[in-house]
Amino acid sequence: MATPLSADRLVKALRDEGLRVVEHRSWRTHNRNHKGPWGPVHGVMIHHTVTTGTQRSVELCYNGHSTLPGPLCHGVIAKDGSVYLVGNGRTNHAGLGDADVLRAVRGESALPADNEADTDGNRYFYGFECVNLGDGEDPWPAVQLAAVEKASAAICRAYGWSQRSVIGHKEWQPGKIDPRGFTMDFLRDRITRRLAAGPTKPPSKPKPSYEPFPGAAFFARGRKSPVITAMGKRLVAEGCGRYEVGPGPSWGEADRKSYAAWQRKLGYAGSDADGVPGKKSWDKLKVPNV
């Protein structure tokens, strides 16, 4: 049985796939669970919004409208590729669809024609609404299509599903046309390649490196070094700067007073707060490499 992902696991799965995720309002507790069960889940369903504008589309999908209360999906995929999470649990996105299609999704087999509306899809599918008018003319930016692919693959990867667990609304409910502007086979081919290649995470940020302690003798009056300027900037950032002008590259009385303020901030007193750097206080200041 495929248990729905927790809010934290869903966010992580999407971000691990390289997506920009926006947590909209109270999405973590926003659902229609009081109207019926949520889960077990068996697949992902893709829609288009028939709207323009990110904010308008997100608010509509969060709130719903007079005849269909929100949330209307789990996530809204904007034109810029951002994913706005608007619901967590049962949402009003799938409606009634074909039981034969559900069996095919569960078995990850070829989809039959959707010719009946006899099964509650809101219980079994994650839903993503993609911002598009659905008129066949509104463009699908490459970054948005990539986000649809990534969002679908993220959930498939979380459950060990294949691309066959991703369907369009038009493949579920008779009379529906969404998503319009690309074929689901086109999308499933992209998902297949992504799942085979593994997730594309953003490059990790390099760990910052800091100036090693140069020794107390380094801090002699008149010593010039960019390290002293960098140290002074860090002291200012820590609220310990005692400079009228600067900081600059020459060690002077203002530097000593500023460093003494830093030592006192760390809890040193007396001769231990004389303004001459020591290794422990220097390491805690974290002066960046110059």
Burial class (CB in 10 A: 0-12, 13-18, 19+), 116: middle
Encoding tokens for residue 231? 């140290």
Tokens, residue 146: 């990539």
Token pair listed for 98: 């074909």
Cα 227 to Cα 132, 233, 284: the distances in Å are 54, 10, 15
C-beta separation of 121 from 95 below 8 A? yes
Helices (H) and strands (E) in the chain, counts: 8, 10
Locate the DSSP E strands across 121-270: 125-130, 166-168
In the chain, beta strands by DSSP E: 21-23, 43-48, 64-65, 68-69, 75-77, 83-85, 96-97, 119-120, 125-130, 166-168
C-alpha to C-alpha distance for 39 and 97, rounded to whole angstroms: 16
List all residues 6 or more positions away from 267 whose beta carbon is below 8 Å from its beta carbon.
none
SS3 106: helix
C-alpha span between 249 and 268 (Å, rounded): 26
Q: What is the pLDDT of residue 208?
A: 87
Candidates 59, 6, 44, 57; CA nearest to 28 is 6
Q: What is the gyration radius of the CA atoms in the chain, in angstroms?
A: 28
Q: Helix, strand or coil for residue 92?
A: coil
The residue type found at 194 is R
pLDDT tens figures, 46-55: 999 999 999 9
From the CB of residue 20, how many other CB atoms can be counted at a distance below 10 Å? 14
Question: With a threshold of 0.85, does the pTM exceed it?
Answer: no
Structure tokens at 76: 């809204």
Q: What is the pLDDT of residue 74?
A: 98
CA–CA distance, 69 with 83 (Å, rounded to integer) = 21
Rounded Cα distance, 259 and 262, in Å: 5
pLDDT at 199: 73
Mode of pairing for the β-strands spanning 96-97 and 75-77: unpaired
Tens of pLDDT, residue by residue, the chain (290 residues) = 599 999 999 999 999 999 999 999 999 999 999 999 999 999 999 999 999 999 999 999 999 999 999 999 999 999 999 999 999 999 999 999 999 999 999 999 999 999 999 999 999 999 999 999 999 999 999 999 999 999 999 999 999 999 999 999 999 999 999 999 999 999 999 999 999 998 766 666 788 899 999 999 999 998 999 999 999 999 999 999 999 988 999 999 999 999 999 999 999 999 999 999 999 999 999 999 98
pLDDT at 123: 98
